Structure 1
Amino acid sequence: MNLPNALSLLRLAAVPFLVLLLHDGRHGAALGLFVLAGLTDAADGFVAKRFGQETRLGKVLDPIADKALVVTAYVTLGWMGLIPFWLVLAVVTRDLVILVGALAYHYLTGALEMAPSVLSKFNTALQLALVALVLLEAVLALGLGEWLGWLAVAVLATTVASGLQYVLVWVRKAWAHESAEG
């Protein structure tokens, strides 16, 4: 196993510990773990590309670890009342749509290429920023309420837009595949 895949597995393994820390009210430790997990995401991508260590496993494992971390954080923070339910619903629904779309596309075409768009990467960055700032607010009580509200709206907008973008891209690719075969 190479370093990037090990970092993705480490991030995946961190997910249950994040939940435990949040449920125990240890927001500072949860923030530290969340930031560390985010750094492993940046590091695994950098190492994989820079040193030619991209693998098929890594191309699957990295987004799974990312989604497990983000969705789990949103669901847990939503359950705790720190992130609005409507936003948790949007984030989870988008990821379910992407998962179902990916499986349907794979079923129809026999192929699956995970290539996140710039919008999707921006959405992920906003989602991560919101979790980090919510946890920072829980630790330090900085009075970020209004800013968190605006960031939540931005996360909602990019979540919906990037979800729709994935659907449109996969529909176009599926039609192109069908046209090429038919």
Structure 2
Amino acid sequence: MSALNVPNMLSLLRVFLTPLVVIFLTLKISTPVLILEKLGVEVSYGDLIAGFVFILAALTDTADGYIARKKGIVTNLGKFIDPLADKILVVAALISLVELQRLPAWIVVVIISRDFVVTGIRLVAAAEGIVIAASPMGKLKTVSQIIAISLLIFNFPGGLLAMWVAMILTVWSGMEYLIKGRNIIFDAS
């Protein structure tokens, strides 16, 4: 089985779309989208393009997972690149939103810290031959982050509130992983 299959190519596409999100979001292409401005939403063309690219990139995560499960395609490259691509996309968008002062840095630190903790637990578990699968709460965390980031990129009202919800779900899912992995972490051997 080739490592360069459709699911892995979609994950790689996610990595390559990430710089476009950052570029369009941070270049400050500030020409407002007049039709949205009339509706009371202040969004620039840069935000609009960045938002659509971000959503497209996020959808590749859903697509690669669906195709991999449907066709039974599992490769080491896929196990490596899929979660990495997710983290690269989300972290790049979050840092860009901090630069634009749409998001407090401490929220990003909490989210990134949770990811480090979960990755560490999974690495220790993998070294012991134990797989800790993604939980439903972890998947809900991802969806909430994508929605919140999208709202903040588009500069829609309620974006920061959505990010608070995403951060709470992020911490909650991180606690679930800590509980699942506590025996592995605190093993005396």
Q: Aligning the two structures, in what range does the TM-score lie when normalised by the shorter sequence?
A: 0.7 to 0.9
- Structure 2: gaps spanning 5 or more residues: 29-45
CA distance 1:60–1:161, change in 2 (3 Å): same
- 2:57 aligns with one of 9, 31, 37: 37
Moved more, 14-23 or 154-163: 14-23
In structure 2, the residue matched to 1:95 is 115
Amino acid at match of 1:122: L
Higher helix share: 1
1:112 positional shift: 5.3
CA distance 1:73–1:114, change in 2 (3 Å): farther
Separation in structure 1 between the aligned mates of residue 20 and residue 169 of structure 2, nearest angstrom: 28
Normalising by structure 2, we get a TM-score of 0.80
Instruction: Map 1:2-151 onto structure 2 (within 5 A).
Output: 2-25=5-28, 26-107=46-127, 109=128, 111=129, 113=131, 115-137=133-155, 142=156, 144=157, 147-151=158-162
Secondary structure, aligned partner of 2:15 = helix
Moved more, 120-129 or 16-25: 16-25
Secondary structure, aligned partner of 2:134 = coil
- 2:165 aligns with one of 136, 139, 154: 154
1:133 positional shift: 0.8
Separation in structure 1 between the aligned mates of residue 132 and residue 102 of structure 2, nearest angstrom: 31
Normalising by structure 1, we get a TM-score of 0.83
1:17 positional shift: 2.1
Secondary structure, aligned partner of 2:69 = helix
Amino acid at match of 1:7: L
RMSD value, Cα: 2.0
Amino acid at match of 1:69: L
CA contact (8 A) 1:59 1:114 kept: no
Separation in structure 1 between the aligned mates of residue 5 and residue 160 of structure 2, nearest angstrom: 40
Separation in structure 1 between the aligned mates of residue 11 and residue 132 of structure 2, nearest angstrom: 16
